[in-house]
């Protein structure tokens, strides 16, 4: 994937940097793998706004993505690399040898015509899904399960990847994208390679309207609110209100909210970088 910087012919294009979508080979999704997607606008079942700054946006269809990779020892051919409005990564359309079609998160370097597989007998090539027990040490991986059979939960965003560092008994030691080093059961599956669309972090929308197309409304700072609306609101002129706090009054910017008795602490070898 490459990036396009547009000529400043309009104010909205002056700072705009977008992807060139050169890796995408098909513009319409596979009909059998598409589901309807309803927008809530941040409202709950009684119509009360429970999430601020959501609403509007272009109508989207949900692509049913296979995070489990549980179709073992059946080769699949990559038929297309597609855009997915529900995630930052690209998705790949697979045609399995038995006729089934599935979407997966497209790893970097996967091309149309490649043949990939999953399971104990798969080789550690880009796009193949293996158990952590069978992946060579030092391999870059993504779409990693935290609980066997539940489906990939870690390293699914554009350009993300983790690294398998070691194995110790029934656990694999994996360095996660956040910098945290963690123990994960070797019976969990992961996919070889890094996630596609690595330049997504360099994209600049260029105008407020593009953010609205994604369903995000303008975000209001607490400092500019009234005292009734936010702990940091009120005051004459530009008064940045005391200690940084959330709307509920919890300290922000450095205050640790992780529970001291969290069950997963025993699996974390090195905490994420601050």
Please write the tens of the pLDDT for every residue from 170-209: 999 999 999 999 999 999 999 999 999 999 999 999 999 9
**For the chain, what is the mean pLDDT?**
94
Average pLDDT on 234-249 reads 84
**pLDDT over 90 at 237, yes or no:** no
> Using one digit for the tens of pLDDT, what is the confidence trace for 134-149?
999 999 999 999 999 9
Predicted pLDDT of residue 236:
87
- Residue 241's pLDDT is 59
For the chain, the straight-line distance linking the first and the last C-alpha, in angstroms and rounded, comes to 30
Contacts of 74 (CB under 8 A, 6+ apart): 96, 97, 98, 117
CA atoms within 13 A on the CB side of 178: 10
Is the pLDDT reported for residue 274 higher than 80?
no
pLDDT, tens digit (0-9, with 9 covering 90-100), for 95-142: 999 999 999 999 999 999 999 999 999 999 999 999 999 999 999 999
User: 192: which residues sit within 8 A by CB, 6+ positions away?
Assistant: 107, 124, 125, 126, 127, 128, 129, 130, 135, 139, 140, 141
Distance CA 82, CA 98 (A): 22
Nearest to 192 by CA among 138, 129, 147: 129
Q: Is the dihedral of CA 248, 251, 252, 257 positive or negative?
A: negative
For the chain, state the CA radius of gyration: 22
Whole-number pLDDT of residue 155 = 97
Q: Please report the pLDDT score of residue 2 as a whole number.
A: 86
Q: What pLDDT is recorded for position 133? A: 97
Structural domains for the chain: 3-201 (2.40.50.140), 221-267 (4.10.950.10)
Half-sphere exposure of 45 (CA within 13 A, CB side): 0
Is residue 12 scored above 70 in pLDDT? Answer: yes
> For residues 174 and 159, is the Cβ–Cβ distance under 8 A?
no
CA pair distance 103, 26, nearest whole angstrom: 13
pTM tops 0.85, yes or no: yes
Contact 193, 108 (CB under 8 A): yes
From CA 251, how far away is CA 243, in angstroms rounded? 7
Q: Is residue 166 pLDDT above 70, yes or no?
A: yes
pLDDT tens column, 42-75: 999 999 999 999 999 999 999 999 999 999 999 9
């Amino acid at each position: 994937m490459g990036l396009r910087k547009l000529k400043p012919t309009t104010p909205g294009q002056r700072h705009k940097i977008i992807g060139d979508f050169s890796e995408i080979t098909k513009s319409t999704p596979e009909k059998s793998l598409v589901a309807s997607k309803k927008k809530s606008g941040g409202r709950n079942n009684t119509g009360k706004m429970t999430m601020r700054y959501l609403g509007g946006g272009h109508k989207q269809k949900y692509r049913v993505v296979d995070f489990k990779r549980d179709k073992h020892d059946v080769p699949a051919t990559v038929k297309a690399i597609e855009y997915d409005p529900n995630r930052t990564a690209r998705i790949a359309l697979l045609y399995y040898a038995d006729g089934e079609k599935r979407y997966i998160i497209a790893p970097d370097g996967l091309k149309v015509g490649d043949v990939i597989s999953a399971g104990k007998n798969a080789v550690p090539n880009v796009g193949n899904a293996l158990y952590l027990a069978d992946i060579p040490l030092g391999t870059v991986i993504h779409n990693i399960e935290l609980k066997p059979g539940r489906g990939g939960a870690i390293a699914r965003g554009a350009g993300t990847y983790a690294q398998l560092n070691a194995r110790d008994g029934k656990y694999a030691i994996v360095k996660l994208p956040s910098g945290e080093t963690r123990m994960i059961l070797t019976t969990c599956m992961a996919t070889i390679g890094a996630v596609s669309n690595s330049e997504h972090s360099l994209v600049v929308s260029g105008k407020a309207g593009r953010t609205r197309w994604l369903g995000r409304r303008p975000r209001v700072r607490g400092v500019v609110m009234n005292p009734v609306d936010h702990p940091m609101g009120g005051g004459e002129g530009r008064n940045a209100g005391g200690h940084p706090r959330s709307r509920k009054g919890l300290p922000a910017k450095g205050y640790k909210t992780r529970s001291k008795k969290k069950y997963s602490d025993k699996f974390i070898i090195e905490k994420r970088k601050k």
